[in-house]
Structure 1
Amino acid sequence: MLKILSHLDCGMEDTNNGDLPTIMVTNDDGIDAPGLQALVRILVSTNRYRVWVCAPDSENSAASHSATVHRAVAAKRTEISGTTAFAISGTPSDCTSLGVSTALFLSVPDLVLSGINMGSNCGLHIVYSGTVAGAREAFIHGIPSVSISYDWVEGTSNTNDFTLAAEACLPIINAIFVEIKNKTYPNKCFLNVNLPTDILNHKGFKLTKQGSSIMKVGWKQVPSDAKAVSQEDLFRLELKGGQVENGGTDFGPLKEGYITITPLGGLTNADIGSHTFFNEWLHGVAESTSLDM
């Protein structure tokens, strides 16, 4: 059971904009990250939504769908103009779970947005992503959700690109609310959106499927702290090469300049070929078991 330690003001949510639909924003880069700040600023500027923020108080990149179960989680009220915002001492999935639970806010948001992440989340990187987990957790609770990532390239991108990325997402967000209002929004998936590096000149939206691309990594031994009492072997994870597309799915179109939109489910089932193999395999296991008896 998730425990909560809160530093809350009287009245846990705004009474302003009470008639507007509510968007809750989270991320994995931390509540002060430029991607989240830009997304929130653009949402508030539309005057179309009530905006809540429930995000980690520090960076949680690659936290995946981890949850905090053996310690209390602190929720600290934070000032972000035009919002009700809390910094949480937990993971992205903690933030979403707490934010939609009505333990922190007095009602459930209509939509959860997770991002904007500094770096794309395509292919198998979706498994590691705390950004995607923030949206997946909302999906598990039956709430429409979108994870949003910007393909940040060091030396090319700058923090102003997050504002452009947030603006580029508005048509998607507005269209989702039309479907929510009409009760026609699909409830068996959530969306993973990736925005290209040259967001100002993007080529439009493209529906894609999750691929199997992944960046190669390796481990390098690094010197131990000379002052440490016990001499431990230390290793650091290092990136060995760029992510490579293999199948024309989500990563390739992103690199071509498209805003990719990938519907995801909570679970990934194995391919039909694997099911066929293991169906026959289990018959063999059963037969060998009966012979052994």
Structure 2
Amino acid sequence: MGTNEHPTDDAMAARLLRAAMDRTTEELPPLPDLAGPARAQGRRRRARLRAAIGGGVLAVAVLGVAGAAALPAGSGKAAGVDEVAAAPSASAPAQASTSPSGPPPPVHIEPSPGESSMAQLPPAERIRQESFQDQAVAVLQDLLPESVGTVQRTDLAVRQYQATKDGSTFTVIFSVRPTSGSGDGQRVCVEVKGQTCRTATLPGGILATAATNPEGDGAVTVSRVSFRYGTSDVLLYIGADSTTNTSAPVTKDQLLTLAKSPAFLGLVKTADSHPMEQKQTITHGG
């Protein structure tokens, strides 16, 4: 072939390959000053990298020679780079589903004379109970209606929580206590003295009773749901705020729905398997 003839497609592809490899490998960092086998290993890695880059560039070069005329404007390798850049990095950390601030701080309640608090627990047991409380706060906050407000744990007892909404404060009791062996773990559903109640069957055939009844002088009402789970008696109680004359902002039907939730029953199962409250005691007589 004469020197004035046009280069073949193979020759053009080879030139594109050589130019692309030179541009790419020029950007590679120089080999560190290694000795012996380490230097040889570094050279082998660089050679493998050049070969990998070359293989990819060769495919692009051949494709460019064979079909450049058929590609519309704006297509080709540039578009492919844009797609890769837009894809999320596999190593990027997943966005946390919980608030970075964590659960709300506990409410301090000063114990009454002769009453103990969680501060008196052994450190390991206190940590265990506080961890359970934090889990309970998250579940209750998610399952209770918005009318209950912000749920917080207290530092008085593992069973005691508090909810606040629009200036009102509601006592929340979530108790999973080893049963004394008597009774059925729930109060009898009797509609007397203003109390209204209903029963429902929870998953696993557990019978639960929920009630709303007047408290104090009858100006406000409280709500609760109770049932027996395993070897424990379970109670979820939402109190009223007598200072603002505000009844418990949750109905017995809402509590029954909550009690059927797998998340709530999961908490109950944990507390039943690893008790944090003392076994109930019943005193007969005066």
Tell me if TM exceeds 0.5.
Answer: no
More helix by share: 2
Taking structure 1 as the reference length, the TM-score comes to: 0.23
- Structure with max Cα Rg: 2
Q: Which gives a bigger RCO, structure 1 or 2 (Cα 8 Å, sep 6+)?
A: 1
- Structure whose residues are more often strand by fraction: 1
